[in-house]
Amino acid sequence: MKRKIMLLIGACIFTVMALATIQGYFIYNTYQLNEREINSAIKKQIARLEDTDEWEKLNDNWAGHSKKYAKQYLKGDVTKQNFIKYLSANKDSLSRAMNTYMKKMAEPEDYNINYSIYLNSIILINNKKTDTLFKGKILVLANDTLKKNLILSSIGRWEVKDNDTELSMVIKSQRYYGFDELQQTIISKMAGLLLFSIVLMAFVVFLYYMSLKNLISQKRIADIKTDFVNNITHEFQTPLATMDIAIKTLQRKDEQMSPEHYKNTLAMIARQNERLQKLFRQVTEASVKPIANKNTIQVTNEEIKDMIDDFKLSKPDVAIAFSCQKEAFSISMDRFHLNTILINLLDNAVKYGADKIETDLKITDKNFILSVKDNGKGIPVQEQTSIFDKFYRVEKGNIHNSKGLGLGLFYIKQLVETYNGNIVVESEEEKGSIFIITIPI
């Protein structure tokens, strides 16, 4: 069964991972699709920009100036370096003009892009002779400060002819656009989908978690019940078998049976009978919720000592200390319930290996705090919350080193809770345990 549950957990983890991978793949694809859509919308936006007379004019403007420069260069009036300087000097005014133009052309659904033109080369053809006025990459204009990621939108090549001379100019340029908010735009476009995917995934994980938790707790309950049936069989078997032998002995009416033997046999029957009754009481007590009797009673120190002394009679080898600062106190509780709690805790301490028990009682303004500390075998940390569950025993399966039905602590907890109190345990294996009960007075 444990193997089956582990397999199931493994299958669930695998399914969740596979689902997450598939979902991740779809989300990635959608992201890419959106990216392509935005880029093509931007390209359309640029095409609209570049398809006006005003844009042509702007372009011709610097091309015209370049032509003038080229003529001067051919005459020998200026150098190539002067041309580069000229481009740099005009960059800002051209950029401003472009900025104004783009703002004017902007439409509501447009993306806030950066647009820039770079010059790559200017080749002069004069009387069939070619000369390179410029070669490299220099910024001609940009509508805004340049963005980090520039995407090439188009490469341009055009020829400018001078009507007066034989001069013609071949200009090569590159146009770029940049859109730094691309990622945020896509993510905000996909926000609904992303949120839905996350919620769906969380829901699937939650459903798996709840189902597995339920399965494990069902299995635990089934195991506990099986243990209980084993325990109860074991617990009832011994007294019943002993009584059977005792009854048969008496039935034989053996003439030679000494009065002492007769007395011992009867005492044995009485003892086993008492044990059976105790077991029966435990089972019935645990099946009905205890009813609190909140009449205020006066309890003296002596009374608690007497309860402990009575218990000591049957456990002469165990040292039980008792301390309490108050001579007497009052508490709204049934005296019988108080006795049951104390004796059950002492009984457990002895049953689970203690030979030294310290019982302490503190009465504060608001609470009655009873602690029972023992030097027994202790309780593993992982079991410390379960020991208060119905039928729960640390000794599971068919290991019966100590007798019990797993009802003692459950009943104590129920009792304590009917008086609005609580019970906690602190314990270290092989060192001992301390049970602390707090009940409001």
Between 178 and 408, CB nearer to ligand ADP: 408
CB of 221 to ligand ADP, least distance (A): 16
> Is residue 409 within the footprint of ligand ADP (CB under 6 A)?
yes
Between 119 and 407, CB nearer to ligand ADP: 407
- Any idea what the Cα angle at residue 98 is, between residues 93 and 104, rounded to 5°? 130
Exposure string of 85-110, with b = 16+ CB inside 10 Å and e = fewer, is: ebbeebbeebbebbeebbeeeeeeee
Q: Are the C-beta atoms of 388 and 399 separated by less than 8 Å?
A: no
Position among 406, 418, 437, 438 found at the interface with ligand ADP (CB under 6 A): 406
How far apart (Å, rounded) are the C-alpha atoms in residues 40 and 117? 19
Tally helices (H) and strands (E) across the chain. Answer: 9, 11
CB of 351 to ligand ADP, least distance (A): 6
> Is residue 395 within the footprint of ligand ADP (CB under 6 A)?
yes
Between 239 and 406, CB nearer to ligand ADP: 406
> Is residue 377 within the footprint of ligand ADP (CB under 6 A)?
yes
Which run of H or of E encompasses 170? Answer: strand 168-178
> Is residue 376 within the footprint of ligand ADP (CB under 6 A)?
yes
> Is residue 140 within the footprint of ligand ADP (CB under 6 A)?
no
How far apart (Å, rounded) are the C-alpha atoms in residues 211 and 205? 10
Between 57 and 400, CB nearer to ligand ADP: 400
Between 169 and 379, CB nearer to ligand ADP: 379
Of 416-435, which residues contact ligand ADP (CB under 6 A)? 433
> Is residue 393 within the footprint of ligand ADP (CB under 6 A)?
yes
> Is residue 413 within the footprint of ligand ADP (CB under 6 A)?
no
> Is residue 311 within the footprint of ligand ADP (CB under 6 A)?
no
Position among 239, 290, 408, 421 found at the interface with ligand ADP (CB under 6 A): 408
- Angstrom CA distances, 382 to 63, 345, 394, stand at 83, 20, 10
Helical H segments across 258-371, by residue range:
259-287, 301-314, 335-351
**SS3 label, residue 160:** strand
Kindly list the residues in this chain that would bind ligand ADP in the complex (CB under 6 A). Answer: 348-349, 351-352, 374, 376-379, 387, 392-395, 404-410, 433
